[in-house]
């Protein structure tokens, strides 16, 4: 096929694909045969006449032209079918010439942030720039196309020596080219690139393009998990690790659906009254064999399988159910707080859903706290995440800034997001009663919060000494193992009653000795 024929072919592909969807396909065959004649002359007409299966293949994604750079224009994104066809064609042409090929997948990290900070046009400009940089780093006959918002596919033209060393060398060259900073929208922007690859020589003799593409995908997943800027080559071991990861993913997803994942609750105490000011809901996996599994062991897998929204729904349901049951048991628990990660805050229906749940449980929004990491607020000055936080504050939920001191939220953002309370990270709290530097740092944070009219809560309070010093420095609330470890909702009833009795006892003692 000549270049001109290829571009005519590309122009026709979209309408052909649409037309070929569904049983009415037969009615289109004469028209498609005519079109084939127009594009490719007699030879393609004969090919078209061979029947619908071939036309179907054309519609799904044509085999690649010899020149990779023609496979897609800067804005084109190939789908998985087309990518598989391109990989198959690469494998076949290498095999025909008794040579080797390789598939590389590149994922660039940082485009979402550029989109959020400088707008989608700036992000698109960087996407196009990345594709042209990628093509410049390759040979003329290699193929490079975009596969998604931040993903690129490279297929190498048949070659004699595509061993591990050569492919690592090439990947590093690509990475260096892509990670060059570029001035977009009047500012220097930086991206990180992760690369996973698989050379056809590492696969079995009769391996298909689909298998090579899947192997590169597994390698890329591994690279991203070790990123930013990691490069991984596919290996047989990786496949078994990937299988294990997949089975862990489905086990965790099942646990989420069948109620094995649920929150435990850790009390928060007011330093001036000693009373419970709230509880934090912390996810736990109640595993039938492994016992209580902490979130560090399943949150990442849930995030990778796109299940964070479902997690937030499960935790919210449980948390509101628990709050209502404590109300009914006569406990004084003013509020339950839930943790929302970036992925959960991206749900456009989040505020509506929460309001609906609160109404269903007959609870006011003031009874619900939303803990948002400082890093999330710092990275989301605008967009859906920012809108959701602001709206949640407007309906009356308390916004807590979690792990305060570990991110870079600006004072303006604290105001804009109507942050109510700073949750001072445990790293500032540990040994505060014994370390003067720690005391100075904490005093500065508390002073700033006071001037900004924000409440404060110290996390990870483990000792009586830390608790006492925090109260002395004027920290409003405390939470940590020194007060109570996270516990089940029913255990909270006993703990809260005992705690109330302890306070009453202490007050009595205070009055009689005072
Ligand atoms: P976080 O929000 O900062 O939660 C506090 C973590 O510190 C909890 O760990 C808690 O058990 C632990 N902790 C509390 N007091 C102490 C203490 O005195 N000493 C020490 N060393 N640790 C203390 P956990 O439950 O393992 O949770 C870890 C993180 O997982 C949480 O950090 C939060 O970021 C995330 N997470 C937990 N549940 C959820 C959830 O339902 N949704 C989301 N998105 N994230 C969650
Ligand atoms: Ca938290
Ligand atoms: Ca925290």
**pLDDT tens-digit map of 193-235:** 999 999 999 998 889 999 999 999 999 999 998 878 999 999 9
The alpha carbon of 282 and the centre of ligand 1 are apart by a number of angstroms equal to 6
Check pLDDT > 50 for residue 80: yes
Residues 127-163 have pLDDT tens digits of 999 999 999 999 999 999 999 889 999 999 999 889 9
Mean pLDDT of 455-479: 97
The alpha carbon of 419 and the centre of ligand 1 are apart by a number of angstroms equal to 20
Alpha carbons 195 and 73: distance in angstroms, whole number: 22
Instruction: Check if 405 has its Cβ closer than 6 Å to any atom of ligand 1.
Output: no
Alpha carbons 87 and 85: distance in angstroms, whole number: 5
CB within 8 Å of 65: residues ≥ 6 apart? 1, 3, 6, 71
Q: What pLDDT band is residue 166 in, cutting at 50, 70 and 90?
A: very high
- pLDDT for the residue numbered 379: 81
Helix (H, G, I), strand (E, B) or coil at 50: coil
Instruction: Check if 170 has its Cβ closer than 6 Å to any atom of ligand 1.
Output: no
CA of 400, nearest ligand number: 2
The alpha carbon of 151 and the centre of ligand 1 are apart by a number of angstroms equal to 33
CB atoms within 10 A of CB 57: 13
Q: What pLDDT band is residue 508 in, cutting at 50, 70 and 90?
A: confident
Residues 257-309 have pLDDT tens digits of 999 999 999 999 999 999 999 999 999 999 999 899 999 999 989 998 899 99
Alpha carbons 137 and 445: distance in angstroms, whole number: 49
The residue whose CA is least distant from atom 37 of ligand 1 is 282
Check pLDDT > 70 for residue 412: yes
CA of 318, nearest ligand number: 1
Alpha carbons 320 and 358: distance in angstroms, whole number: 8
> Among 183-197, 199-213, 316-330, 397-411, which range has the highest average pLDDT?
316-330
Instruction: Check if 462 has its Cβ closer than 6 Å to any atom of ligand 1.
Output: yes
Phi, psi at residue 320, to the nearest 5°? -70, -35
The residue whose CA is least distant from atom 35 of ligand 1 is 295
pTM comes to: 0.68
- pLDDT for the residue numbered 513: 65
Mean pLDDT of the chain: 85
CA of 313, nearest ligand number: 1
The residue whose CA is least distant from atom 43 of ligand 1 is 339
The alpha carbon of 459 and the centre of ligand 3 are apart by a number of angstroms equal to 6
Alpha carbons 5 and 28: distance in angstroms, whole number: 21
Which residue has better confidence, 76 or 504?
A: 504
CB atoms within 10 A of CB 304: 15
CA of 406, nearest ligand number: 3
Which residue has better confidence, 42 or 165?
A: 165
Which residue has better confidence, 209 or 378?
A: 209
- pLDDT for the residue numbered 22: 35
Q: Partners of 128 in the beta sheet?
A: none
Which residue has better confidence, 438 or 110?
A: 438
Would you say 196 and 239 are in contact if contact means Cβ atoms under 8 Å apart? no
Query: In percent, how much of the chain has pLDDT > 70?
Result: 85
Which residue has better confidence, 406 or 57?
A: 406
The residue whose CA is least distant from atom 7 of ligand 1 is 460
The residue whose CA is least distant from atom 20 of ligand 1 is 460
Alpha carbons 6 and 40: distance in angstroms, whole number: 9
């Amino acid at each position: 096929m000549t270049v001109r024929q290829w571009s005519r072919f590309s122009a026709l592909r979209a309408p052909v694909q649409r037309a070929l969807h569904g049983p009415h396909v037969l009615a289109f065959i004469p028209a498609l045969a005519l079109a084939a004649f127009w594009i490719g002359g007699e030879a393609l007409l004969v090919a078209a006449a061979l029947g619908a299966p071939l036309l179907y293949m054309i519609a799904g994604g044509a085999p690649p032209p010899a020149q990779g750079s023609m496979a897609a224009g800067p804005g084109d994104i190939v789908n998985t079918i087309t990518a598989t066809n391109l990989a198959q064609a690469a494998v076949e042409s290498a095999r025909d010439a008794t040579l080797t090929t390789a598939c590389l997948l590149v994922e660039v990290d940082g485009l979402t942030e550029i989109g959020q900070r400088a707008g989608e046009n700036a992000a698109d400009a960087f996407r196009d720039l990345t594709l042209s940089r990628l093509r410049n780093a390759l040979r003329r006959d290699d193929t490079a196309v975009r596969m998604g918002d931040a993903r690129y596919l490279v297929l190498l033209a048949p070659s004699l020596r595509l061993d591990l060393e050569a492919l690592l060398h090439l990947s590093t060259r690509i990475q260096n080219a892509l990670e060059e900073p570029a001035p977009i929208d009047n500012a220097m922007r930086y991206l990180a690139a992760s690369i996973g690859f698989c050379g056809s020589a590492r696969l079995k003799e009769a391996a298909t393009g689909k298998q090579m593409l899947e192997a590169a995908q597994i390698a890329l997943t591994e690279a991203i998990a070790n990123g930013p800027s990691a490069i991984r080559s596919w290996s047989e071991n990786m496949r078994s690790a990937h299988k294990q990861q997949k089975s862990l993913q489905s086990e965790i997803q099942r646990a989420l659906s069948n109620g094995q994942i649920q929150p435990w609750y850790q009390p928060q105490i007011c330093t001036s009254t000693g009373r419970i000011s709230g509880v934090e809901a912390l996810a736990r996996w109640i595993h039938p064999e492994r016992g209580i599994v902490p979130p560090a062991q399943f949150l990442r897998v849930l995030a990778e399988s796109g299940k964070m929204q479902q997690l937030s729904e499960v935790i919210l349901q449980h948390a509101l159910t628990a709050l209502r049951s404590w109300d009914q048991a006569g406990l004084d628990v003013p509020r339950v707080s839930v943790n929302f990660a970036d992925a959960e805050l991206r749900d456009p229906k989040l505020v509506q859903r929460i309001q609906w749940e609160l109404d269903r449980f007959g609870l006011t929004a003031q009874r619900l706290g939303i803990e948002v990491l400082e890093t999330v607020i710092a990275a989301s000055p605008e967009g859906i995440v920012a809108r959701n936080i602001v709206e949640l504050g407007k309906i009356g939920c308390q916004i807590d800034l979690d792990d305060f001191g570990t991110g870079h939220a600006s004072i303006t953002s604290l105001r804009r997001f109507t942050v109510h309370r700073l949750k001072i990270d445990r790293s500032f709290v540990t040994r505060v009663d014994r370390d003067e530097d720690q005391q100075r740092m904490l005093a500065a944070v508390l002073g700033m919060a006071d001037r900004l009219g924000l409440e404060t809560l110290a996390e990870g309070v483990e000792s009586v000494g830390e608790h006492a010093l925090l109260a002395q420095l004027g920290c409003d609330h405390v939470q940590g193992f020194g007060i109570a470890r996270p516990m089940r909702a029913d255990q909270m009833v006993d703990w809260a009653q005992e705690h109330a009795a302890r306070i009453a006892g202490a007050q009595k003692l205070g009055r009689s000795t005072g």
